[in-house]
């Protein structure tokens, strides 16, 4: 199926985004992967799937996630 299917991955922003996305993409190809990251101010998803209020800056969290995923894909932040 690789090269013929686009996978749309979306979730609320996990508290441990590096661990979460490392696990999600461990067995996936990056080809055709579309990531939507819903950064809701002060809400994060815990490892067990529960939601928690964790104060923080949603824009900064989104930028950190983007930089992390970009580095995973390209080997560095562009």
- Higher pLDDT pick, 27 / 77: 27
Of 68, 64, 9, which Cα lies nearest the Cα of 33?
A: 9
**Within its chain, how far is the Cα of 66 from the centroid?**
8
Q: What is the pLDDT, as a whole number, of residue 27?
A: 76
**Contact between 7 and 34 (Cβ < 8 Å):** yes
**Domain spans, the chain:** 7-74
Q: What is the pLDDT, as a whole number, of residue 77?
A: 59
| Structure confidence by residue, pLDDT tens digits, 11-62 | 677 788 788 878 877 777 777 777 777 667 788 888 888 888 888 777 787 7
Question: Over the range 38-70, which residues count as b (16 or more CB within 10 Å of their CB) and which as e?
Answer: ebeeebbbeeeeeeeeeebeeeebeebbeeebe
């Amino acid at each position: 199926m690789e090269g013929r299917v686009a996978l749309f991955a979306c979730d609320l922003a996990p508290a441990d985004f590096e661990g979460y996305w490392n696990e999600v993409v461990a067995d996936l190809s990056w080809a055709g992967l579309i990531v939507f990251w819903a950064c809701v101010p002060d809400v994060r998803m815990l490892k067990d799937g529960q939601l928690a209020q964790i104060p923080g800056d949603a824009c900064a969290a989104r930028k950190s996630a983007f930089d992390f995923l970009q580095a995973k894909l390209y080997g560095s932040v562009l």
